[in-house]
Amino acid sequence: MITARRHMVEGVWKRLGLQNEELKAVMAAVPRHLFLDSALGSKAYSDISLPIGAEQTISQPSMVAMMTNALVPRKGDKILEIGTGSGYQTAILAHYTPRLYSVERIPALSKRAQALLEQLGFRNVIYKTGDGSLGWESWAPYDRIIVTAGAPVVSEKLKLQLTDGGRMLIPTGGRESQKLLCVDRIGSTFRETDLGDCRFVPLLGKEGWEK
């Protein structure tokens, strides 16, 4: 598994042309197969998204790498993750922050991810079950926000939970395919940069899609 994981990461870095050695080491250390059903273990280190139940998926490793690299998390950043899902992206982000706040809409997924992450030694994640499209106002503002589900538009609630100088990555567009946007807050203004096409499950909620 370790060899397969390293091979996967090397392949992703080569395809994306990434230079981020710290992120490369983090992804090489996180056992992706543990975040999947054992029946999918043979596919864990392929660069593909896979089902995790409840009509949700674990993102393909190249998307996790690209989004984390574009987020530019810094040591000590206060980070909000919308969509705990399997917990795989959570484990990557937890490396960068003393406190990671993660919101998941589906209780069973949140509970399973929390149990696994605690088993793996992650003690710096605070979990919430609820409507991620609204963010988590009680802990705002955040230096970095990452959204791992596709929204119809950029959530105003989430934008306002960014610090001045903060950054958010969010997929927006249709229910089936989106554009990955990088949103930077500069004072009271927000600059959006299109990072390309992507495909995520829909972000359901008051500032997302209806069920």
The answer to whether 188 is a known catalytic residue is no
C-alpha 173: how far from its chain's center?
17
Other CB atoms within 10 A of residue 98 CB? 11
Half-sphere exposure of 132 (CA within 13 A, CB side): 29
Phi, psi (rounded to 5 degrees) for 106: -100, 115
Q: CA angle, 87 as apex, 85 and 92 as ends, to 5°?
A: 130
> Which residue matches tokens 């060899």?
3
Catalytic residue among 49, 59, 62, 110: 59
Q: Kindly list the catalytic residues.
A: 59
